[in-house]
Chains A and B, each alone.
Chain A
Amino acid sequence: MLVLIGTYPGKNPKIVEGSAGLTQRGLKVGDELIGISSGASGMAAACASACRALGIEPPYCILAGDTGNGEGSRKLYSYLEEKVFGLSPDIITLHYMAPLIDHMVDFGFALEESGMNPVLIADAGAMYGAKISGIGHIFDLFTPDKGELAFLADEDAAHPMFVNENLYDFPDNRIPELAEKVSCSGTSPGTLLVKGSIDYIVRGGKVINRVYEPAIPAMEAVGGTGDTLTGIVSALIHSGRRVDEACFLAAGINRMAGRLCDMRPDTQISALIDMIPDALRYVMGPVGKSLS
């Protein structure tokens, strides 16, 4: 089972859980309909779309409304500590959540006690929380952008807001060097997917792959393009791909979906999500026959 966990922009912190499906009106989780935007709802919608195109079981979503006071996030952490391993998850993707050190550490203990070994992916606030809690190494994949890579590389930074200014505006050609430094820090996941004008896949301290086509400069400006990438990579791992192979394919699929929707800086993320099935077939050929 692939489990996706994160907050959506709603005031009700109640947990909403169930298999995710896409409808004309939004993302359906259990009996609830949730609007698709940037953040965890966009990530889950992209993942559900990719799973459908791959012909595999949809993701199981555990979402909570949170507008910043952390109430929904705390409910999600409680679920992670007390219930999530009861679902026997094969993959857990953690996404937009308040980065809370105590809760993240407790999740690490709960994982240890469960004796399970799911693939763990973190992006957004959950990635920040994992880094500052010092438990990044229990994860299998982080998906930072350039600014977040600087945060991961700055040992003292508690948030991207506090990154040392020497690391803030570094040239793009330093991304591989910094990514390799983060990757072999000992507190980092086995694999990093650094998203940007070139997507870098880093494993064991080395850049093992780069994806730079199709080039869609507008993608950096459009809110949610990193979230869709996390959703697609989660789906591909769920389909049985290795983490590094899934990163390579997902980067190409996300870019291709951007091209197919003619992405401009004013495009909204739902337009890219609509194109994921076509992009997936374009990059992978008939489902199951990867061109990689």
Chain B
Amino acid sequence: MGAVILFDEAGKAIRSEYILKKRGFSATLVAPPRGIRRGCDLSVKVEDSQQLQAIRLLDSEGISYLDLAAFTGGQGPVQLTTRKDIGEFIMVRSGNMKLTFSKDSGIIVNISGGGCPDIPYIANHLTNASLAEAESPLLFGTSLCAYLLDRALVEAKRIFAD
């Protein structure tokens, strides 16, 4: 079935998944099991046989976690991104987040959607930035909406580079 590592901040889960995958673990972001969900939080699913090694690695990287729990099923993050042409602009959607950029200049002209408090803060940083220079939303925010916006930004950069 697997185990889930629980965190007090979504940002720690996102960073942990990145580190674990980089070190060859089979790690996936999932919603915490019902009953121990606190709201807009994330956990990382690992194989049963890898849970202790995964925790040791996170300890060595200085990432604190709350607990381990059995994985009882649950949806992983949406993987799809979609694009929509709007005249001189392209809008990329990932989940509830939308990022729109100019086809000519690659300037990000608007960010819409989302409901987590860091989104307006990130939007202030990214609006009017060029795709080439735009930094990951995860440097400014730690929410699930920020994670989706990061996916939209990666896809927008790929589309503009093509």
Contact = CB atoms under 8 A, between A and B. Distances in A.
Nearest to B99: A221
Interface in A90-124: 96-102, 104, 123-124
A128 B115 contact: yes
Interface of A: 7-9, 37-41, 66-70, 72-73, 96-102, 104, 123-129, 132, 145, 147-148, 151, 156-165, 168-169, 217-218, 220-226, 265-268
Interface stretch (B48-56, B62-70, B79-87): B79-87
Given A147-B96, A220-B98, A39 B120 contact: yes
Contacts of A132: 37, 39
Interface string B1-32: 00000000101000000000000000000111
B75 A265 contact: no
A221 B38 contact: no
B91 A220 contact: yes
Q: Which has the most chain B C-beta neighbours within 10 Å: A9, A102, A126, A223?
A: A223
B80 to A, nearest CB: 6
A266 B110 contact: yes
B106 interface: no
B72 to A, nearest CB: 11
A102 B31 CA distance: 17
A154 B80 CA distance: 17
Nearest to A223: B112
A40 B114 CA distance: 12
Choose among A38, A164, A168 the residue with the greatest number of B CB atoms under 10 Å from its CB. Answer: A38
Given A156-B74, A168-B80, A217-B86, A99 B115 contact: yes
Given A147-B93, A156-B74, A222 B110 contact: yes
A38 B117 contact: no
B118 to A, nearest CB: 3
Nearest to A37: B120
Contact of B38 (A8, A102, A162, A223): A102
